Amino acid sequence: MAALEASIPPAQSKRFRGLLLRILSAVILAPLLLAAVWLGFPWIDLVAALAAPIMVSEWVGLTRGRPFARVLAFLYTLAALAALLWLRHQPVMGRETLIWIMACVWATDIGAYFVGSLAGGAKLAPSISPSKTWSGLVGGMAWAAVASALAGWVFGHGETVMLAAIGAVLAVVAQAGDLLESAAKRQAGVKDSGRLIPGHGGVLDRVDGLIAVLVAVALMRLIAGGAWPWT
């Protein structure tokens, strides 16, 4: 193992170790979140209650000295947590909707990371997040489309083509949420929103795309009614 690490260039070795730490953290935390979503009340409510003060605290750190931005960040966080609970506690397809959302967001992150790393190319928003590329965005959209369609097939609801298209759109929303937090970190002059999660930084670093998608899906369900996107 030592010989293998010695043969890897320092930059790639550091990135490799960081990726392993991110995977380990995800392996531990993702099942806990999925279990809370699956079981519903009171576990998902407990997750929201624990996450709320942490997320607000991280936003306060990122928006220090900017009262208006701090208020908007506070409202944004509350909207996302309210959307999380409202969607989960829906009498029809609440559990399935949250699992679908998480599948789309996670697929976006994975697809964007690997496709962007392999394909490279033009930067998506170099002044905000230099590591993001247009190829990564396209990869994230493709992976999210597949994840969305697959979730619909597993749950036996929704049109496959429609869900694939929605998944691709949600990938764009997730990336927008990621860039929003990246812009806040850049203005604050920090790399991460916190240090709570090894390999990921703070809670916001892990859920920046998720909170944007939660708000978007909740708004669409309010507008469309029923059990959107399953009807």
| pLDDT of 26 | 78
Residue type, 19: L
- Token pair of 133, please? 């590329």
Residue 130 phi/psi, 5-degree rounding, is -60, -20
Query: What ranges do the domains of the chain cover?
Result: 12-224
- Positive/negative CA dihedral, 125, 128, 133, 136: negative
Q: Rounded to two decimals, what is the model's pTM?
A: 0.89
Provide the 3-class DSSP secondary structure of residue 228: coil
| pLDDT of 8 | 42
| pLDDT of 20 | 75
| pLDDT of 15 | 52
Instruction: Name beta bridge partners: 197.
Output: 201
Mean confidence (pLDDT) of the chain: 89
Residue 114 buriedness (CB in 10 A; 0-12 / 13-18 / 19+): middle
CA distance 127 to 124: 9
| pLDDT of 1 | 38
- Write the pLDDT tens digit of every residue in 58-75: 999 999 989 999 899 999
Given a cut of 70, the residues of the chain with pLDDT beneath it are 1-19, 199
